[in-house]
Every structure is written in C-alpha cells, then in structure tokens.
Amino acid sequence: MPSIEARPKPELHPEFCKGCGRCIEACSVHHCIAEGRDIHAQSGLVPVAFHPDGCNGCNLCVEACPEPYALMAGDAAGPEEHPVVSRHRAPAPQTVPDERVAFAEGKTLVVKGAHAAAIGALLAGCRHFFGYPITPSTEGAELMAKLLPRLGGTFLQAVSEVAAVNMMYGCGGGGKPCMTFTSSPGFSLMLEGVSYLIGSEIPGVIVNVMRAGPGLGNIGPAQADIKLTCRGLGHGATHAVALAPSTPQEMLDHAMLAFELSFKYRNPVVILADGYLGQMTGRVRLPGALVKPGLPAWAVSGDAAHRKNVHTSIYLNEADQEAHDEHILAKYAAMTEAEQRADLYRCEDAEVLLVACNTPARMAKGAVRALRDEGVAAGLFRPQTIWPFPAKVLVPLLPRVRRLVVVEASEGQLEDELRLALSHAGAGQAIPIDHVRRQGGNLPSQREILEGVRGPRAPRATARKVVTA
Ligand code: SF4
Ligand code: SF4
C-alpha cells in the first residue's frame, strides 16, 4: 500500500458533476471540496470546486460520488481510456467553410416575391424550414414544402409560430441554415423565441410578409412591423439586421444575403416584406453561384468534436450576464458599422427627398419621375436595411435637401426610425419632415404622393399628415 504522501489524489471532471455535494460531506475533515458557484457550459449544472492542496488521497469522496466519471481515483485508468470522458475531451471543433458552387447565372424566372425569397433561401443552402401558414406569406412556405423533400431537406409545419421559432433554435444551434415564413400576427408570436435566438447567438432567417394590424387586422399589405422589428425583438437588448426588399429580385437577393449575415454575426436576420410584394410577380435573375453550407465550429453536431458544444442564453451570475450583453452589443455595433444599405434614385441633386421602402418605394419612384418632369429636383432614398438604418448613406445627401417626405404604409413607423437615425447622427434637424401615409392594408398611390409633395409645406421640423386612411 502506498504511503499517504504517495497516494494519488482524485481527479474532478466537472462536466460530469451534478453538484449533489456528497463528496463535500465525505471530505469533511480535510475540506478539499466546496460548493461551486458557476454553471458549467456543457452540463448546465453547478459542479463542486476541488482544492487538492490538503488532499491525502483517501478516496472517500470517490466512493461517495454517485456519478461514474465525476470524481475519479487518481490511479484509475486515464480519462482518455474512458469512453465517456474521452468523448468530452475530443479535439477542438474546427469550422468547415461554406463552398460556393457555380450555378446558372443569367437565367431568369418570373415568380412571386414570396417564391423568390424561398428560392433565394434554397440557393443559400437552407434545407430546413419550420413554420405555420399565414396569409400573405404562405406561398413561400408552400414552395419550400414542395422542394425541400426533393432536395433532401426538411419541411416541418409546426403546431404554432411559437413552436416553429423554437425548432429554428434547435436547427440553427446545429449550425444548419434554417428559416421560416410568417406574417405580422405570427411574427408577434415568435418574438420570445427570437430573443432566445439572439441571446444564444443562433442564426436563422425570418421572412415576415407584413399585413395590416393591430390584432388580426386583415391580409392587405402594410409596413406595420417596422417598430416591432427595429425596437422590439423580444425581451432584453435585442436587435437583428432587418432587410427591406422592394422587388421580387431583392426578395431573392436579400434571402441569400440574410443567411450570410445570420451566420456572420450568429444572430437572426429578419426580412421585412409587405403583402403586396409577397404576392407580386416579377422577373428574377438567378445568381452565378449557390452555397453548399459547411459546419461552424460552434455548432452542436453529431461528431465527437462538436457534440460538446452548448448554446444557452442563461447567465445566472450578473457579471457573466453583463459580459454577455456587452459582447452582443459589440456585435450590434459591428452590424451598424458594416451593414447599412440603401438604394439611391436621382438623389445626387435632390432637394425634395422621398424616403420609402418595400412596395411604397415603387410608387415613390414613379412620383420622383413625375416630379422631375415638372422640374422639381426630387429623389428617392430607399433604405434596404431598416435596422441598422442607413444614416451613413443619407447624411451626406442632406446639405442639398430642403424637405424630406416619408412615404409608408403605417402610422409613421418608418418616419420614427428616420428621425431616430438623424437624431443619433446629429444631422438634418433643420429639414422639415412631411409624410404620406396609408394604413389598414392600403398602400400610398403615386397620385397621393404627388399631392403630398405638391401641397403646402409643413412648418419647419414639424411633421404634417398629408394623407391618411
Ligand atoms: S481523497 Fe480524501 S482528502 Fe482528498 S478530496 Fe477526497 S475525501 Fe478529501
Ligand atoms: S459527489 Fe460526485 S456528483 Fe456529487 S458533487 Fe461530488 S463530484 Fe459532484
């Protein structure tokens, strides 16, 4: 029998410790084991803390431990020889990069906006869909239901939007590109899950084909979820890049971009369309390459290296939560710096600048042409990201601008984002902001926009309601 000094000390494997405390009691003489404080990232439990300095290797703690691998005698077989321990000690997971595969560039399709977004998702490598049908977004889900089984993918109609977004949590946590189509009431239901996606840094793409509200509202086109998307993505400090397509082509392009950004930042991305755009048929040019997804190092996957990954948004220790919040806020700052996008139409010398996105931007573009024919130096500033609002693109245009006119299908949600962005940028405060608005499933017409622009100017820095439903 080895002397006390020579007896090997036990080894604690905290990933297997459930924190029952029996070993603490067993070591009541030497006090080598104490209650732990931190949640273990793999187990989600709080293992004990082992302080081996005073340990004499008596192994009473090992005998008291009900877990086979939590406390192991120092002379037990090396942990690497234990199948369970060795699995948890697998090499660090490596990222398998995406591949881009040449595709039929230049080919065109004539498709609905919702179908274009579904095609974009498939070309981005999405093979997993979770959703619940809701008009006017159902066509996107319908196409995914037809195509995914043929492509070896999974289409799952969940019992509700709440279930769907939490299925995205599991799939996205596995490092797989996944998505849903929904519309405003369904989007509201998903927001708790979106907060969890953000908190756990899990990618996923949500296409919200907005309709009129509040409540059940109707199935007419609207932009009623801009506020919800930019300022209310569930509890906590939540933000996500929000893309605002205006054409079926952009529905496809933005869907592909959304997956790229979602994995780049490990954060969900929202595509905000409107009911008209979802149903609108248009020509769509296919890209030159499609994406064959790899596997991120952080994914929970079935091999030994990836299996030990854990995704969680729970940080019971306040300091840990604050550090996590700061990490997420730094990501928002990076998104704000790098992802502001806008399309400019005849803005170079514009004195009257229309601001519009989604389908209303199409009417606004027609209005700009008509105003130019009348000799009015009009232009269209079209945010392609509503969050982050593209202030960096807008502000350089402002020295020439005498008037901003926000055209939208909501009660002023886009205008609020514009005003907030200008305020944060410290720019444009002296420029009057007018608006042309419709609601209730109606879109502003070109005639209404022209009437709004031609009408009497609002007092400086005061919003004026020109048209309302
Ligand atoms: S081996 Fe003995 S002394 Fe060492 S921690 Fe376990 S019970 Fe305490
Ligand atoms: S007895 Fe085993 S499982 Fe219980 S706290 Fe101690 S090491 Fe962990």
pLDDT, one tens digit per residue, over 97-144 is 999 999 877 799 999 999 999 999 999 999 999 999 999 999 999 999
Look at residue 27 in the predicted model and tell me its pLDDT.
96
Instruction: Indicate if ligand 2 lies below 6 Å from the C-beta of 17.
Output: yes
Closest CA to ligand 1's atom 8 = 27
Ligand nearest to the Cα of 26, by number: 1
pLDDT greater than 90 at residue 7: no
CA 245: distance to chain centroid? 16
Look at residue 469 in the predicted model and tell me its pLDDT.
33
Q: How far apart are CA 274 and CA 205, in angstroms?
A: 16
CA 336: distance to chain centroid? 14
Residue 48 CA: nearest ligand 2 atom is 5
Q: How far apart are CA 293 and CA 175, in angstroms?
A: 9
Instruction: State if pTM tops 0.85.
Output: no
Instruction: Indicate if ligand 1 lies below 6 Å from the C-beta of 60.
Output: yes
Closest CA to ligand 2's atom 1 = 65
Let me know: does 190 contact 161? Beta carbons within 8 Å: yes
Cα of 205 to ligand 2 centre, how many Å?
Answer: 41
Cα of 24 to ligand 2 centre, how many Å?
Answer: 8
Instruction: Render pLDDT for 65-77 as a digit per residue (tens, 0 to 9).
Output: 998 889 988 876 5
* Interval 217-223 mean pLDDT: 96
Exposure string (b/e) for 20-49, b if CB count within 10 Å is 16 or more?
A: eebbbebbeebebbeebeebbeebeebbbb
The band of 43, judged by pLDDT with boundaries at 50, 70 and 90, is: confident
Instruction: Indicate if ligand 1 lies below 6 Å from the C-beta of 297.
Output: no
Instruction: Indicate if ligand 1 lies below 6 Å from the C-beta of 73.
Output: no
Instruction: Indicate if ligand 1 lies below 6 Å from the C-beta of 55.
Output: yes
Instruction: Indicate if ligand 1 lies below 6 Å from the C-beta of 59.
Output: yes
Instruction: Render pLDDT for 332-359 as a digit per residue (tens, 0 to 9).
Output: 999 999 999 999 999 999 999 999 999 9
Q: How far apart are CA 383 and CA 389, in angstroms?
A: 7
Closest CA to ligand 2's atom 2 = 65
Tokens 């008596």 identify what position? 58
Q: Indicate the range of 8-12, 358-362, 363-367, 406-410 predicted with least confidence.
A: 8-12
Cα of 306 to ligand 2 centre, how many Å?
Answer: 26
Residue 57 CA: nearest ligand 1 atom is 1
Instruction: Indicate if ligand 1 lies below 6 Å from the C-beta of 61.
Output: yes
pLDDT greater than 70 at residue 321: yes
pLDDT greater than 90 at residue 380: yes
Closest CA to ligand 2's atom 4 = 20
Instruction: Indicate if ligand 2 lies below 6 Å from the C-beta of 67.
Output: yes
Residue with the bigger pLDDT between 277 and 458: it is 277
Q: Indicate the range of 65-69, 86-90, 93-97, 184-188 predicted with least confidence.
A: 86-90
Cα of 258 to ligand 1 centre, how many Å?
Answer: 54
Ligand nearest to the Cα of 71, by number: 2
The band of 303, judged by pLDDT with boundaries at 50, 70 and 90, is: confident
Instruction: Indicate if ligand 1 lies below 6 Å from the C-beta of 11.
Output: no
Counting ligand 1 atoms within 8 A of each CB, the residue from 30, 53, 59, 72 with the most, and so the one to mutate, is 30
CA 268: distance to chain centroid? 1
Look at residue 74 in the predicted model and tell me its pLDDT.
81
The band of 3, judged by pLDDT with boundaries at 50, 70 and 90, is: low
Look at residue 400 in the predicted model and tell me its pLDDT.
97
- Number of other CB atoms surrounding residue 14 within 10 Å: 19
Residue 62 CA: nearest ligand 1 atom is 6
Instruction: Indicate if ligand 1 lies below 6 Å from the C-beta of 173.
Output: no
pLDDT greater than 80 at residue 468: no
Residue 26 CA: nearest ligand 2 atom is 1
* Interval 314-328 mean pLDDT: 93
Closest CA to ligand 2's atom 3 = 17
Residue with the bigger pLDDT between 463 and 31: it is 31
Residue 18 CA: nearest ligand 2 atom is 3
Look at residue 458 in the predicted model and tell me its pLDDT.
47
For the chain, domains (ranges, CATH) are 11-88 (3.30.70.20), 99-338 (3.40.50.970), 342-454 (3.40.50.920)
Look at residue 459 in the predicted model and tell me its pLDDT.
45
The band of 304, judged by pLDDT with boundaries at 50, 70 and 90, is: confident
Instruction: Indicate if ligand 2 lies below 6 Å from the C-beta of 40.
Output: no
Instruction: Indicate if ligand 1 lies below 6 Å from the C-beta of 58.
Output: yes
Structural tokens at position 266: 């490990």
Look at residue 460 in the predicted model and tell me its pLDDT.
44
Look at residue 244 in the predicted model and tell me its pLDDT.
98
Counting ligand 2 atoms within 8 A of each CB, the residue from 48, 50, 62 with the most, and so the one to mutate, is 48
Cα of 342 to ligand 2 centre, how many Å?
Answer: 57
pLDDT greater than 80 at residue 463: no
Cα of 312 to ligand 1 centre, how many Å?
Answer: 33
The band of 377, judged by pLDDT with boundaries at 50, 70 and 90, is: very high
